[in-house]
């Protein structure tokens, strides 16, 4: 259960690398929406859940302790090395995001890979990332605005990370692309039943 096979490691790296590159484009979205969120900065939190996706996908597909943390950190570090505007803070964000997702699966002892656990992973990633951003990026933000941002992070974590990540992992399993992983084998058993 705890040992990574070469395949597990390769899939985790692939997820992290793909999102690390994709984050460059996604980061530009914040620049584009800046004028729209200037009046109410907490609204940016509604986009946060996409940043948590590498962790949830790795956890749901690979199903090994550490996969979520590794994929989240790898995506963040690669994004940073490719020119992320947030510098070293990006790596800490990767730890917070992957760590939050990891914690949800740890609470189930890596035995449940269901939609509710995926949503919990998104929520925990949101809380940890919000805490990091409150301290580093928005220390001057008032507490009412900070709590509004936390609410936006939680909604996004639940939907864009938890629900979307779970749906994406199910869709990948349905294609047969991950048949060698536990998630693919589980999908095949369910389909045969």
Q: Is 98 inside any structural domain? A: yes
Joined together, the tokens standing for residue 18 give 């793909």
11: nearest Cα among 169, 152, 171: 169
Tell me: the pLDDT tens digits for 106-158? 999 999 999 999 999 999 999 999 999 999 999 999 999 999 999 999 999 99
- How many structural domains are present in the chain? 1
What's the mean pLDDT in 87-91?
89
- Give Cα separations from 64 to 61, 104, 107, 115 (angstroms): 9, 13, 13, 17
Q: Is 141 inside any structural domain? A: yes
> Does 93 have pLDDT greater than 60?
yes
Q: Is 122 inside any structural domain? A: yes
Angle ∠(141,23,57) on CA atoms, nearest 5: 100
pLDDT bin (cut points 50, 70, 90) of residue 193 is low
Q: Is 187 inside any structural domain? A: no
Tell me: the pLDDT tens digits for 42-59? 988 999 999 999 999 999
- What is the rounded (10 degree) CA torsion for 125, 126, 131, 132? 60
Q: Is 1 inside any structural domain? A: no
What confidence score (pLDDT) does residue 77 get?
95
* Cα–Cα distance measured from residue 132 to residue 18, given in angstroms and rounded to the nearest whole number: 24
Q: Is 38 inside any structural domain? A: yes
Q: Is 80 inside any structural domain? A: yes
* Cα–Cα distance measured from residue 150 to residue 47, given in angstroms and rounded to the nearest whole number: 12
Angle ∠(165,52,120) on CA atoms, nearest 5: 65
Q: Which residues contact 6 (CB under 8 A, 6 or more apart)?
A: none
Domain holding 53, by residue range, is: 6-182
- Polymer length in residues for the chain: 193
Q: Is 71 inside any structural domain? A: yes
* Cα–Cα distance measured from residue 51 to residue 54, given in angstroms and rounded to the nearest whole number: 7
pLDDT bin (cut points 50, 70, 90) of residue 1 is low
How much is the pTM? 0.91
CATH number at 61 reads 1.10.1760
């Amino acid at each position: 259960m705890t040992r990574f096979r070469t395949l597990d490691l390769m899939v985790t790296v692939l997820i992290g690398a793909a999102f690390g590159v994709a984050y460059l484009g996604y980061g530009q979205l914040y620049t584009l929406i800046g004028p729209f969120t200037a009046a109410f900065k907490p609204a940016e939190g509604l986009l946060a859940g996409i940043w948590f996706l590498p962790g949830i996908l790795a956890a749901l597909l690979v199903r090994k302790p550490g996969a979520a943390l590794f994929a989240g950190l790898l995506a963040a570090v690669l994004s940073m090395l490719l020119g992320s505007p947030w510098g070293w803070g990006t790596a800490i964000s990767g730890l917070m995001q992957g760590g939050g997702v990891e914690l949800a699966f740890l609470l189930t002892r890596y035995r449940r890979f269901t939609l509710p656990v995926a949503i919990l992973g998104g929520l925990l990633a949101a809380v940890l990332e919000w805490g990091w951003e409150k301290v580093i990026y928005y220390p001057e933000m008032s507490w009412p605005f900070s709590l509004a941002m936390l609410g936006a992070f939680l909604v996004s974590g639940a939907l864009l990370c938890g629900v979307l990540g779970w749906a994406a992992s199910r869709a990948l399993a349905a294609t047969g692309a991950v048949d060698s992983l536990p998630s693919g084998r589980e999908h095949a058993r369910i389909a045969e039943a």
